Amino acid sequence: MPRARDADAFLPLNPVDYQVLFALFHRELHGYALVRAIEARTGGRVRLEPSNLYRRVRRLVRDGLVEESEERPAPELDDERRRYYGLTALGREVLAAEARRMRGLVREAEAGRLLARS
């Protein structure tokens, strides 16, 4: 993966990486919550095993798109072993750039009459 700080250097994103970043868009989540959020949003089409998820998360952290959070949402109610993750500014830029890229693909498909315009 690129080490550049240019969001476009990360495109196109792997679809599962997109799902991980998108799941973290609104709030920080721990690993199991990430798995559940992705599975729920995709209707079960994307299911991540913990080892696969953490391998991806480590790479996204290394690439500067995700960071481990220092804060706990509710420390007194939470398992202290959980690690929470959130998007970095670069991660937000990459996620938005990928969404724009995909929107362009849909527009091409509509213009070419592959898809009906919505």
pLDDT confidence of residue 70: 80
CATH number of 107's domain: 1.10.10.10
Range(s) of the domain holding residue 56: 8-111
pLDDT confidence of residue 75: 61
pLDDT confidence of residue 76: 61
Q: How many domains does the chain have?
A: 1
pLDDT confidence of residue 77: 61
Residue 97 to residues 84, 92, 115, Cα–Cα distance (Å): 24, 9, 22
Q: What digits encode the pLDDT tens for the residues 35-92?
A: 999 999 999 999 999 889 999 999 999 999 999 998 766 666 667 778 899 999 999 9
Does residue 64 lie in a domain region? yes
Does residue 2 lie in a domain region? no
Does residue 3 lie in a domain region? no
Compute the mean pLDDT over every residue in the chain, rounded to the nearest whole number: 90
Q: Say how far apart CA 89 and CA 9 lie, in whole Å.
A: 15
